[in-house]
């Protein structure tokens, strides 16, 4: 894990906390934020940056999910449940975001040799392990096959998944992103995605492989640790842990030049989202 440690150990960490902006803060804004920060950090105009964010009642689809044979029926069902949905610009499949899910992004400059893709994942794994080291549990990174959006860096305790990690690389910047199911029911979230695939596939054949979801393999940290955690509790653990890897952490919102970048990236993700969803 020494490689992961070296990525976490930065002279300074810039913090952008968007975990309490509320329901009006949309997921597309988050993807534009991370693209902006990748560009800024990659150009050397910003220190490495850690961003925290929460989105309410949102299903984030992967590109492959838009290939579901009966996608519209599945999307109509989400709307009837009062859920928002968007298609993300990084890899992976559908995930659930709600008020009990904390998302964290670590944005690093890519080095001349390039940050090995596993090195970014290892840094996030180590961060989460450190955040919860006072609990006598083992946090593992391995694929939980019957979870939603399964991947080799699913984070689990006793084979129950509570987090998934993805990466985005743009303009010499690397964003390593994680969703942490902090509280609420992991199996209920899994049931939502199971229903999405049930309606979207409707037993029709497709060349794409979608997860065979078994809700019992997913849980929240509150369920797994048997203690009621809030988003604020985990935010405190996050900031305290990050500070232990750095000489200084400081809070700073987007600067003037970054705001211009952000507007461009936001327009781009909105247009791309509409194109993928509606101009099939």
Active site residue ranges: 149
H and E: helices and strands count for the chain: 8, 11
Show Cβ contacts of residue 234 under 8 Å, excluding neighbours closer than 6 positions.
102, 131, 180, 182, 221
58-61 vs 84-87, strand pairing mode: parallel
Query: Given the structure tokens 């979608």, which residue do they identify?
Result: 210
Find the helix or strand (DSSP H, E) in which 170 lies: strand 160-170
SS3 157: strand
Cα four-point dihedral sign 180, 214, 117, 268: negative
8 Å CB contact between 201 and 70:
yes
8 Å CB contact between 237 and 132:
yes
Strand partners, 178: 104, 165
Closest CA to 250 of 7, 13, 9, 11: 13
CB atoms within 10 A of CB 163: 25
Burial (Cβ within 10 Å: 0-12, 13-18, ≥19) of residue 159: exposed
Burial (Cβ within 10 Å: 0-12, 13-18, ≥19) of residue 44: exposed
Query: Given the structure tokens 């940056």, which residue do they identify?
Result: 49
DSSP 133: T
């Amino acid at each position: 894990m020494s490689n992961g440690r070296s990525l976490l150990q930065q002279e300074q960490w810039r913090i952008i906390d968007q975990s309490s902006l509320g329901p009006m803060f949309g997921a597309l804004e988050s993807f534009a934020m991370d693209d902006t920060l990748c560009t800024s950090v990659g150009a050397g105009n910003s220190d490495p940056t850690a961003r925290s964010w929460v989105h309410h009642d949102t299903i984030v689809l992967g590109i492959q999910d838009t290939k579901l044979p009966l996608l519209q029926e599945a999307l109509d069902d989400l709307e009837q449940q009062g859920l928002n949905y968007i298609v993300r610009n990084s890899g992976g499949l559908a995930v659930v975001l709600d008020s009990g899910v904390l998302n964290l992004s670590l944005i690093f400059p890519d080095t001349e040799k390039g940050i090995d893709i596993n090195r970014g994942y290892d840094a996030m794994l180590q961060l989460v392990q450190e955040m919860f080291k006072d609990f006598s549990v083992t946090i593992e990174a391995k694929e939980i096959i019957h979870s939603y959006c399964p991947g080799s860096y699913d984070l689990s305790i006793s084979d129950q998944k509570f987090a998934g990690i993805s990466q985005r690389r743009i303009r010499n910047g690397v964003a390593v992103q994680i969703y942490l199911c902090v509280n609420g029911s992991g199996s209920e979230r899994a049931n939502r995605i199971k229903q999405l695939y049930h309606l979207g596939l409707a037993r029709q054949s497709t060349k794409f492989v979608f997860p065979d979801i078994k809700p019992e393999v997913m849980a929240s940290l509150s369920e797994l640790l048997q203690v009621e955690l809030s988003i604020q509790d985990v935010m405190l653990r996050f900031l305290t842990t990050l500070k232990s890897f750095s000489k200084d952490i400081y809070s700073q919102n987007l600067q003037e030049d970054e705001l211009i970048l952000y507007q461009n990236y936001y327009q781009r993700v909105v247009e791309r989202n509409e194109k993928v969803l509606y101009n099939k």
